[in-house]
Structure 1
């Protein structure tokens, strides 16, 4: 019986160790054409407009927080930021690590859930400036 418990515990640990960042990057790799890699960021091309692309991404891998600003959609995951923006033939999807840009407050203009140290949000119901 203890062997069964140990195997079950090992399976749970394995499944929970697969972070959201890995899942979002795997989904983007499997779904869109990667056009560029710059440092820790990858850029993908989607033939669909921003709204359709964002819906496909969030349906597949729900973000911790979501916000829109200036025609761009921002999706925050545990280890990554995904930015979906308009392009001539659909949209561009950029994924980058939550690194110094995030920790220094670069995305703070998006409001709660995008500020360094922010708690995980509920999906970003508000817009920029809501927390003023």
Structure 2
């Protein structure tokens, strides 16, 4: 077989590999593909889920494990390298999923009350990726 024939046969496989590796868009893309967009405010987006908080959080965490996770007051907070995801109960059932850039309230200490892993400058694995005693299951 000629070199040209080999290249032609390998080209589709190469494209498939490149497409597969380029699609790993992280938690923000997973949420956008899975839940219905409710609104956008700056870099923060709020989505709706028909599932309760615990089920919604479990789905997100199964797809993309967070660096830190904490439950507080009926809401779940998931910290990723570039985003904070807050899942809370929606009025009338289901849940709201808010995704915001980590440079916003996080960098100014807005989530410091959640403890290790949520305080600016905390180590990435500060909460060990697990929730406290209030984690939704």
TM-score w.r.t. length of structure 1:
0.78
C-alpha distance in structure 2 between counterparts of 1:81 and 1:18, whole Å: 21
Q: Extract structure 1 runs of 4+ deviating beyond 2 A.
A: 124-128
* 1:117 lines up with 2:91 in the alignment: no
* Structure 1 unaligned residues grouped into runs of 5+: 1-10
Counterpart position of 2:26 = 23
Counterpart position of 1:80 = 83
RMSD: 2.3
TM-superposition CA deviations, 1:41-73 (whole Å, max 9, x none): 011000000000000000001111000000000
SS at match of 1:103: coil
Counterpart position of 1:126 = 132
Question: Among 44, 56, 60, which residue is 2:63 paired with?
Answer: 60
* Structure 2 unaligned residues grouped into runs of 5+: 1-16
Larger Cα-atom Rg? 2
Counterpart position of 1:95 = 99
C-alpha distance in structure 1 between counterparts of 2:58 and 2:72, whole Å: 16
SS at match of 2:26: helix
